[in-house]
Structure 1
Amino acid sequence: MRFNPKADISRGRVGDAGRGSRGTGGGGMRLPMPGGAKAGGGVGGLVIIVLFVVLTQCLGDGGTTGAGGGTGLDVGQQGTAAGLQADGERYAHCQSGADAAEDVDCARKAVAVSLEDYWTATLPEQGGTDLAPAQIITFTGSVDTGCGQASSQVGPFYCPADQQIFLDTTFFTDVLEGQLGGEGGDFVEPYVLGHEYGHHIQNLLGTMGRVRTQQGPESDAVRLELQADCFAGMWTRDASDGDGIFLDLDEGDINEALDSAKTVGDDRMQQQSGGRVDPEGWTHGSSEQRMRWFMTGYDKGTLRACDTFSAKQL
């Protein structure tokens, strides 16, 4: 993964919420048991699969309302959290692709610019909808959102009420690699951000309002997650061709994305937690499905190809 040293990343919509308490959901990282989200009580009250969380109580009405139980964030007209600038102090020094090549925070900001540029062009062209950009908010410990309070163990997630992506950056080494056995690599976080931005695209397109069934191998929840993987593949395809932010992505980067998708497949998560593989409990799809739908987006590059809700076979 190589960044264009001359690329302007000063406009990247990334902010930092700082350090919160670890009271929500218990202290420290752990491997949650696979399961569906339960309505009410904020993020900390959900039974979740760690990583790529879409909050069930925000899905029924397409994300127009948040969950109860959290103090929440005031959301301005552009969807940015109160008190956070588009470029928070943590990211203020990140101005160019050269900075992204030397600093992981700046790399995150560069990915945000790349995702926004891609969907600004692609969403109107293929989906007939203008992009209202999402902001990426990093935090440590816990964070208050319009969907409730979330702790680090939730993993990266998208909150439809805020139209923002939240992640504790320690997740990748502490959980994805440390607990779940992922191989890691430079492109793991970009893949995760691409998936979460995919949820934002679903929110803008109204797809989240189609979710009715929460568990099972062909449930709406699984279709939603596999589509977000496909959208991540679409963006990766564009970035691989040199999108102005990236000079290129190589085969190793694609393999890192595929390994991450495999690591968080429902079947593997169930095995990692000591249980048997039970497709009726799936909420995100199997490892094979997640990798295959990512590659569908990568190979085809269209919203039509990523229509998991019309697919006869997932």
Structure 2
Amino acid sequence: MERATEPDVAYRQIMTFNDDARLDTSKVRRAGGGKGIAVGGGVGVVAILLIGQLLGVDLSGLLGGGTAPQSTASGEPLDRCTTGASANEDVECRVVGAATSLDDFWTDTYPSVGDNRYASTSVTLFSGQVQTACGRASSAVGPFYCPADQMIYLDTDFYDALRGSLGAQGGSLAQMYVIAHEWGHHISNLTGTMSAIDREGTGPKSDGVRLELQADCFAGAWVAGASQTRDEAGTAFLKAPTQAEIADALDTASAIGDDRIQERAGQVNPETWTHGSSEQRQKWFTTGFERGATACDTFAADAL
């Protein structure tokens, strides 16, 4: 069953896609029936514990065992999402539009940050639960990237959480920032950074935080270059972001900072941070936006 298009409510920003831009629907699939599309090993502990803390639920049961599948994502194609106009009106089509632009951006940009060849990723939309090469996950996990199958997973209801329990404005560019952040993890995986670091440690200068801030920086680089990404006919996918849209994306980066999340729980403990503070996340998004992807080596930075 298809989700309805979004109502015209206050959080929506100025339309960002050019109406006649042609989108690549192969970049996004919806998992059939809200069930899985793969069988696999343990979901990333960091993502589960962070979102579990935020939502006040125990997600430890999602950490299961198994063997990684050989198959790739399959599911229901989003055939209605072929134009920029559809991305302006429909939240799932907006994911398609973001993925199309991100793939074009990183096809051109990746050689500046990686020694090997760029390989694309894709987004699986789901509701309820999904099976991945990293294990079974529920919608409560929030958006995540699975390095074992090199895919991004998202329940678009997370955008409601942004505007609800997280207190963000959650406009259109903020929604796409979430996808761009996860795509940034894919880039870190391709370059070998993700497999080379210590992902078990926590704290404001830990490798895990540096990895998340690098994804924020890569997201900022895409936002700056998104209006230069084009379809096969040469039509730009996106209009240049407005100051209001950039502020909205920064607002989201702040809302999902570890310190903001811990404030809701009543106690801020920097030594347990896994994603970075609001200030750190905004800083590195801005670094990518202003200086580009080559400035996103958070592992070489003394001051985060």
TM-score range, shorter chain: 0.7 to 0.9
Counterpart in 1 of 2:64?
69
C-alpha deviation, 1:125, in angstroms: 3.8
Correspondence for 2:288: 297
State the Cα distance separating 1:249 from its structure 2 match.
1.4
One-letter code aligned to 1:14: V
Q: Percent identity?
A: 49
> Do the aligned partners of residues 188 and 75 (structure 1) sit closer, same or farther apart at CA in structure 2, a change above 3 Å counting?
farther
Q: Secondary structure at the match of 1:43?
A: coil
Q: Does 1:245 align with 2:231?
A: no
CA separation of 1:70/1:6 partners in 2, compared to 1, >3 Å: closer, same or farther? Answer: farther
Quote how far apart the aligned CAs of 1:292 are.
Answer: 0.5
| Aligned pair partner of 1:106 in 84, 90, 93 | 93
Q: Which one of 158, 178, 196 corresponds to residue 182 of structure 2?
A: 196
Whether the 8 Å CA contact 1:136–1:164 is kept in 2: the answer is: yes
Question: Residues 1-314 of structure 1: matches in 2 within 5 Å?
Answer: 1-20=15-34, 42-43=42-43, 47-50=48-51, 69=64, 74-76=69-71, 80-81=72-73, 83-84=74-75, 88-89=76-77, 91-173=78-160, 175-212=161-198, 213-240=200-227, 243=230, 244-274=236-266, 276-303=267-294, 305-314=295-304
- 1:282-301 Cα deviation digits (max 9, x unpaired): 11110000000000000001
Q: CA deviation at 1:71?
A: 5.9
Preserved CA contact (<8 Å) 1:118 1:238: yes
Q: Give aligned pairs, total.
A: 271
Runs of 5+ in structure 2 lacking a partner? Answer: 1-14, 53-61, 231-235
5+ long unaligned stretches in structure 1: 23-39, 52-66
TM-score of the superposed pair, with normalisation by structure 2: 0.82
- 8 Å contact kept, 1:230–1:298: yes
What is the RMSD of the two structures over their aligned residues, measured on CA atoms?
2.4
Give the deviation of 1:145 after TM superposition. 0.5
Amino acid at match of 1:301: G
- The Cα of 1:41 is off from its aligned counterpart by 7.2
Verify the 8 A CA contact 2:254 2:282 in the aligned structure 1: yes
When structure 1 is superposed on structure 2, of 265-274 and 12-21 the one drifting more is 12-21
Deviations 1:107-136 (A, max 9, x none): 211111000000011002442332211010
> 1:239 deviation in Å?
1.4
TM-score (norm 1): 0.80
Residues 24, 82 of structure 2: 8 Å contact kept:
yes
**Residue aligning to 1:57:** none
Secondary structure class of the residue paired with 1:2 = coil
- 1:94 CA drift (Å): 1.5
Q: Secondary structure at the match of 1:158?
A: strand
Aligned to 1:54: none
Distance change >3 Å, CA 160–CA 18, structure 1 → 2:
same
SS at match of 1:166: strand
The verdict on how the C-alpha distance between 1:2 and 1:176 changes in structure 2, with shifts beyond 3 A counting, is: closer
The structure in which a higher percent of residues are helix is 2
> Tell me, what secondary structure is at the counterpart of 1:105?
helix
